[in-house]
Amino acid sequence: MTRLRRDSPVSSDPRVPLLDRLGRTWDSQDHTGVVGVQDRAQARASFSALRQRANTMWFSLDGTGRPETGWAYYVLLSCVVALTVIGLTMVLSSSAVEQITKDLDPLSLFKKQALWAVGGFVAMMAASRLPVSFLRKLAWPAFFLALILLLAVFTPLGVDVKGNRNWLRIGGFQMQPSEPAKLAIALWSAFLLERKQKYLGDWRQTALPVLLLGCCLIGLVLLGHDLGTSMILAIILATSLWAAGLPNRLFGWIAAGIVVVAGVMALTSGNRTSRLAAWLGTNCDTGLCDQAQAGLTGLARGGWLGVGLGKSQMKWSWLPEAHNDFVFAIVGEELGWLGTTLIVVLFAVFTLVAIRVILRYDDVFIRVLGSCIIVWISVQALVNISMVTGLLPVIGVPLPFISYGGSALTFTMIGSGIILSFARQKKPARSRLGGSPAASSASRLSERISHSS
């Protein structure tokens, strides 16, 4: 198999699309003795046609150096709306049965989720109209508001849900403060790193204050025994430092710290230790493997096209949290491989187009904030899907836009609205880098994303 040389100027130019770089490198290399002359010409023609089609779509998206078409905005909006509609449908399908068994209104959870979805859509469209200058002003207020809400969890307003104290209940209103904390960390870290851009070469001036204050929010979530959400928050915080262009060697220490804290939290909790043992298949006699196995059974029953919407058997009390953390298993059972693939494709398209949007900008704040939101949504989706498919242990991370949860849906849509605000701007925001030592941070992000491709 032909390898792509990292030192090739064609392969390292972030302005050239990936397929184009691969095609040019293939054309420039000698394949004598590998395939015949005719086969090589036919393969080159087929690849060139595929490359041309792919590049036509790639260049039509914003962020490629050509005049913006506005398509990125509508692609992102369509992905969010499609995922939310699928989520509402699956919440209705997966929760109605369980509500009937409890002699409750079978539509009660669906109605609540629909109200949150409507409110989230309004908030998303409002966020898509916010100027970047206003987002900067929200950074510190958002941080302190998230801090107050997380502290309020440990007051009489806090509520324990299945061993985790991570909910607030005020009257009939209930929310999870860790959800606005995700957005708050993204906003605040982007603002702080932009202010300290001339010190990016010194981690004590940049990474240390971001990590210390950011870990205050993460620590409060850990005190509520929510390890899954804490890991997502830590990944968002690390992403902000990565997007700002801090040295790569710093992230080895950050990754080691996350692993150590997660390991300590897992080993000091009987519940988490049992979940880890169940994932490894060494402690299934006590029933701890039942949820994961039921999720895999649901995916297997669905086959290619599913058993039909509303016809799942696993949601009849066989699969705990069928409407929440394991809703992806119900999607697989009722809509089959086709339904699960559609969800994965929608998340992939959202991530790809959002990346191309933020690459239009030189502004550190926009690049860091956009990167944090993209990683928040995409990594959380990846963790949930991996959890349901058995690639990761059960850690209680919901699937964005799909799982039941009003506060999670609302703040995920608000984060998406901020990405939409970057996509709808016809002219990129004026660079705030100037001639400072941080002027290369934006180009380093482009190179990192290009090499990741």
Q: Taking the mean position of all CA atoms in its chain, how far away is CA 286?
A: 33
Check if the beta carbon of residue 330 is closer than 8 Å to that of residue 93: yes
Q: 158 forms bridges with which residues in the sheet?
A: 168
Which sign, positive or negative, has the C-alpha torsion 296, 302, 305, 311? Answer: negative
pLDDT value, residue 19: 47
For the chain, the structural domain boundaries read 9-60, 71-452
Specify the amino acid at residue 45: A
Query: Exposed (0-12), middle (13-18) or buried (19+): which is 448, by Cβ within 10 Å?
Result: middle
Q: At a CB cut-off of 8 Å and minimum separation 6, what does 110 contact? A: 88, 91, 92, 95, 96
What is the C-alpha to C-alpha distance for residues 179 and 233, in angstroms, rounded to an integer?
A: 9
pLDDT value, residue 433: 43
pTM reported for the whole predicted model: 0.80
What is the C-alpha to C-alpha distance for residues 188 and 195, in angstroms, rounded to an integer?
A: 11
* Positions of the chain with pLDDT lower than 70, given as ranges: 1-39, 54-69, 163, 201, 269-272, 277-278, 281, 283-288, 426-453
Phi, psi of 163 (to 5 degrees): 90, -10
pLDDT value, residue 14: 43
341-374: b or e for each residue (b if 16 or more CB lie within 10 Å)?
eebeebbeebbbbbbbbbbbbbbbbbbbbbbbbb
